Amino acid sequence: MLEENKKTAQIAGIWWLLFILIGPISYLIVDGKLLVLDDAAATVRSINSNMALFWAGVVAFLAGYACFILLAKALCRLFKSVDSKLTKVMMGLVIAGTALVLVGKIAEITAANVSNIEYAARLFDLRTNIEMAGELFWGLWLLPLALLILKSNLIPKVIGVALLLNVVAHLAIFVGFFIGGVILDTNPAVLLLGMGELVMTLWLLIIGVKKDKES
């Protein structure tokens, strides 16, 4: 059982690492180059003059979230014997969040292919709002995962606590945008609170699971 759990954990770690590596291609590299803040006309022109890059970003987006779903499935297998209800909640939040941001990506693709700039601007705004709403799900899916870690002896409980801090980071971004009107995803304090996912990924890849003292 230990070896099986270790293999499952390391598979989850691989999917998590791929998600971490692929995500920035779409969000930071492609969007950073093509999207012009508060200027739909300039954004449409930028996309139309770099269509290959734009579609590469779409492919990276889809590949990244495919890795995310496979990650969640691997984690569900790992923790199913701990609490199957919590694993189902976790998987449901992952699927809901992924479906939400997929709608945002469809809005972006549509905006890039319409001639009415006002309509395009509304679609780009919709996409931004959806992405920020997604922060709610990116925080909440970590909550059942953290609880599963705290209930089990598979992963150090300190990592479960770190993931709870990660929940706070994502919720701060969500609240900051929709209530405070500020973007906090590059705030140093938020970035520090959000280190739990990286720590979890490295643990899964390098260690896998703890050796059960009772085995």
Contact 205, 20 (CB under 8 A): no
Q: Which pLDDT does position 214 carry in this prediction?
A: 40
pTM recorded for the entire structure? 0.91
Whole-number pLDDT of residue 8: 95
Specify the pLDDT at position 54. Answer: 94
pLDDT computed for residue 212 by the predictor: 56
List CB contacts of 136: < 8 A, sequence separation 6 or more: 97, 170, 171, 174
Alpha-carbon gap, residue 75 to 188, rounded angstroms: 29
Q: How far apart are CA 88 and CA 72, in angstroms?
A: 10
| Helix/strand/coil for 156 | coil
Predicted local confidence at residue 20, as pLDDT: 93
Per residue of the chain (215 residues), give pLDDT as tens: 788 999 999 999 999 999 999 988 998 889 889 988 889 999 999 999 999 999 999 999 999 999 999 999 999 999 999 999 999 999 999 999 999 999 999 999 999 998 899 999 999 999 999 999 999 999 999 999 999 999 999 999 999 999 999 999 999 999 999 998 888 888 899 999 999 999 999 999 999 987 654 43
Taking Cα atoms as reference points, which of 132, 167, 126 lies closest to residue 146?
A: 167
